[in-house]
Every structure is written in structure tokens, then in C-alpha cells.
Amino acid sequence: MTPQGQPGTPVLQALTDGTLAGSWVLDLARSEVRLESRHTWGLRPVHGIFRQVAGNGTVTAAGQVTGTLTVAAGSIDTKNKRRDKDLRSAKIFDIASHPDITCTVDGMQPANGGVRVTGSLTVRGRTRPLSFDAKASAAAGEVQLDAQVPVNRADFGLTYSPLRMASLNNTITVHAVFTRQ
């Protein structure tokens, strides 16, 4: 079901019948990217939201999906100014040299009752392959994608953690709504 309560078309059906062919753009007002981690040796959850996100995608008539989701690393907001300053600094995201976190999608296949999204993730200048399962639906000229993506920040060289208090394992939660361009 879509948020409006209307049944959504399974995305894979819409891909194969050509319904989704064309260009798509991220609806910034209805989309969000969140970061979740654990601190104090796993005892305290830490939540943040990226306030600046952009994205687009293309679906071919044959159902091939490509796209990009770009997050301004400096837009992280954990509701703790000191933590946010550290995250933006050269110790973690190094926004002066690497202002964006980018997810590039190069495919989508059926998986586990939803879709498996494949592509790459670039953080702080390091690019790694990325594959995750997501729930997806299409309705009334929009496509929604919801996923929780596990990421080990050490894969991107982000190992700074005073006293090893912060977990290296993080979850990126994505709620993306795309509309026709």
C-alpha cells in the first residue's frame, strides 16, 4: 500500500511492462536518509538525519534501472552540535575534501518479496560495491523505495573513535520517493 492507502503496483511488474520507462527525480520533501549507530560500547543508540539529499534515476523500456542518490555529508544532524562537528571534521566525513556521500545504482532484481538493489557507495573518496534488499512500490506516477542498509564504516576508512566507544557497524535507513521528471 502507498501512504495514501492506494494499492501500489509491484515495481517488478511495472518494470517488465514498460510502465516505469523514463526519467525520475527524488521528491526531496517526502524522502529522507537517516544514519543509525551505537555509542558508549553499544549501550546508547545514536540517530542522525541528513538534511540535504538529491537523486535521480532512469528506467529503460527493457526495465534496466540506473540512478544516483547524493547526500551532503555536512548536512548530518544528530541533535548534538559537538558530535555533528566531529562527524563533519577530517576525523570522520572530512566534508572540506569530500562533501558528498554517493550511492550509484546499476541494477534492480526480484529478491525476498521485494527487490535487490546493486551498485556502489562512495564515502570520503572510497567506493565500495553495495547490494541491499528493499521494499518498492509504484503508484500514481511515483516510485517508493524503503531500505535499511548495513554499512561498516571501516570499509571507508572511517575508524576514528575515542576509546573505541562508537560502533563501526551502522545502518543507513532510506525512504526515497521518486516522481516522473
Q: Does domain 9-180 have CATH number 2.40.128.110?
A: yes
What's the confidence (pLDDT) of residue 35? 93
Q: Give the confidence band of 18 by pLDDT, cuts at 50, 70, 90.
A: confident
Q: pLDDT tens digits, residue range 98-123? A: 999 999 999 998 888 889 999 999 99
Q: pLDDT tens digits, residue range 34-67? A: 998 866 545 667 899 999 999 999 999 999 999 9
Mean pLDDT of 135-161: 89
**pTM (2 decimals)?**
0.87
C-alpha cell at 14: 511495472
Q: How far is CA 90 from CA 54, 73, 87, 158, in A?
A: 23, 12, 8, 10
What's the confidence (pLDDT) of residue 46? 84
Distance separating alpha carbons of residues 26 and 95, to the nearest angstrom: 23
Mean pLDDT of 19-33: 96
Angle, vertex CA 24, rays to CA 48 and CA 147, nearest 5: 35
3-state helix, strand, coil in the chain (%, to 5): 15, 55, 30
Per-domain residue ranges of the chain: 9-180
Q: Residue holding cell 525520475?
A: 24
Residues in contact with 42: Cβ distance below 8 Å, sequence separation at least 6, in sequence order = 167
Amino acid identity of 15?
A: L
